[in-house]
Structure 1
Amino acid sequence: MMIVVALIGGFILGILFFGGLWLTVKRTLGSPYVALWLLGSSLIRTGIVLTGFYFMAQGSLLQLLVSVAGFIAGRLLILRLTRQIEQKQVIVTESSPL
């Protein structure tokens, strides 16, 4: 049961981490405070992920590895979703007249 919880928890952490990274990059494109956004986001995202891994592992290497696998799966989902969003934005931008 704890293995399934570790997998789902890692998946959620991956979505939070990489989704937050994508949002941060989008936010910094028009911001005068790029370094502040990147540093703050990095510290918050990393802190959340490390804390999550600590509590999910509970001293078990197997649970830690399963949660890391879930984290990678979350990354793949965010990668797929953000590619689709970016492609739709490019299509809309290209089809609208200037």
Structure 2
Amino acid sequence: MEYATVFIAGIALGLFYFGGLWLSTRSLAKQPGKQTRTQPFMPPALKLILSFVGRMGVTLVCLYWLMQGIWLRAIIALLGMLLARFLVRCWVAPKLRQEVPK
């Protein structure tokens, strides 16, 4: 039961990390170089770096907390993150096909 909880938490962490990656890259593709009233100007490179640091920081802290000094728990959480990567990829692929101009 303990390892199932760690696996599910790993899936949640993976959804957070890879979903956030997709959202941050998608926001860059939507408005290339345009400044709007609701969105203050931020250089794209800075936006990606801040997104990476935030996602990686939260993911590593949560992974360390989930691990609790037991490497098997870390491996199980990482397997959950890999499953989440596959799930996000399957969820995003049809949307990417619709957005690509022909």
Same fold? TM cut 0.5: yes
Secondary structure of the structure 1 residue equivalent to 2:9: helix
Q: 4+ residue stretches of structure 1 with deviation over 6 A?
A: none
Higher relative contact order (CA 8 A, sep 6+): 2
Residue type at the aligned position of 1:89: E
Percent of aligned positions with the same letter in both sequences?
Answer: 28
**CA offsets 1:60-79 (integer angstroms, 9 cap, x no match):** 11110000000000000000
Structure that is richer in helix per residue: 1
| Structure 2 residue 57 is the aligned partner of structure 1 residue 47 | yes
- CA RMSD in angstroms, aligned pairs only: 1.4
Q: Distance in 1 between matches of 2:70 and 2:97?
A: 41
- Structure 2 residue 83 is the aligned partner of structure 1 residue 73: yes
Matched to 1:3, the amino acid is: Y
Q: TM-score, normalised by structure 2?
A: 0.83
1:89 equivalent in alignment to 2:83 = no
Q: Which segments of 5 or more consecutive residues in structure 2 lack a partner in the other structure? A: 34-42
Structure 1, residues 29-88: CA drift from partner, whole Å, max 9, x if none?
225420111011000000111011111111111110000000000000000000021223
Aligned partners of 1:42, 1:80: CA distance in 2, in Å?
22
Q: Structure 1 counterpart of 2:20, which letter? A: G
TM normalised by structure 1 equals 0.86
Deviations 1:14-37 (A, max 9, x none): 111011001100111225420111
Count of residue pairs brought into register by the alignment: 92
Structure 1, unaligned stretches of length 5 or more? Answer: none
Q: Take 1:35 and 1:79, find their aligned partners in 2: how far apart are those partners?
A: 23
